Amino acid sequence: MKAKVLMAMSGGIDSTVAAMLLKEQGYELVGVTFRTFDSISQGCMEKEKGCCSVDALFEAQKMAQDLDFEHHILDIRQTFKEQVIRNFIDEYLQGRTPNPCVVCNSTIKWGKLLETADQFGCQYIATGHYARICQKAGRYFLQKGRDEAKDQTYFLWTLTQDNLSRTLFPLGNLTKPEVRKIALEHGYEKLSRKRESQEICFIPDNDYRAFLHEHVENFTEKYGPGNFVDTQGKILGRHQGFPNYTIGQRKGLGIALGQPMFVVSISAKENKVVLGTREELQGQTLYVRQLNLMKYAQIPDGIEVSAKIRYRSQGGTANLYTEGDRLRVVFQEPIDSITPGQSAVFYENDDIIGGGIIE
């Protein structure tokens, strides 16, 4: 028998197939599913629909039973509320756009998984993420999953050397069609056809504005109408409260100006939303904080990388410069929608150098 592994189970196809593969490789598994939020919505990016629902908890439990290993459901709703949901709300109320799945991965998934793994005497943890782990020159770092369309490394840049040294990603070298085929070959026809979504687990219908209205006391009174202005400060009209807008937004502004206009910046202090043209939306320099390095212990000054500032972007060629406790990122060509609060992740081919939060 190989090492003991704590398998994070969502009840979906990815974690189930990951468990199948580890069992076949001879690992001893202990399954765990976290109850994070009372919702029938779906899980953090790329997770199967319903991963936060009670039904999903029982589906995960049944999968573990079918595959013949013990399974535990852990209620961490309060921790999730304090660390992920609170951050999500606070960021929007500061005029920033958060990425809750990044926060969840670092504080909840790996934090709680490793804590639970130690309790059950597990050497490793495993998830159904599409990513690979490499070790070189004494350092662990992530590599993109082989399925470029499913690669999830963008959400995992916060993982530390200790996290990576104890993590297994059984699906890293597989494509989604191959994963579906494995499920089908093991007799899980319904699971093999299960649809998935990219909604955030605690945001029903992906409507973050409705969520803020519901969860922030006196939201409309505290964060009410203010001015739309252009990049020169000229008042263009009235908006419905700055937290209702995000950088790059064009639709739903409720104002007609004779040409396409985008949200180019947000001032929480002045309750002001700045609109501009696509050219004014573009920039070439950004700064990141909360930097986490993977491939190198120190970033070579001026190194050329591919930098992604949102999950679905192809990334742009940029150079990195360390300035104190933050990093200056200079793109070689202008890019759209540099958004404070989002993640910037830096790649060298398929390898992750590191990442940080955009200031």
| Catalytic residue set | 104, 201
Q: How far is CA 359 from the centre of its chain?
A: 17
Beta strands in the chain (DSSP E): 4-8, 28-35, 71-75, 124-126, 131-136, 139-144, 167-168, 226-229, 235-239, 262-267, 272-276, 282-293, 304-308, 316-323, 326-336, 343-348, 351-358
Residue pointed to by tokens 């670092």: 106
CA–CA gap between residue 244 and residue 272 (Å, rounded): 12
Nearest 5°: phi and psi at 22? -65, -40
Distances (CA, A) of 124 to 47, 72, 129, 341, 359: 21, 16, 15, 31, 34
Residue pointed to by tokens 């070689």: 332
Angle between helices 208-215 and 86-93 (to 10 degrees): 100
- Identity (one letter) of the amino acid at 335? I
CA–CA gap between residue 338 and residue 110 (Å, rounded): 28
Nearest 5°: phi and psi at 299? -80, 125
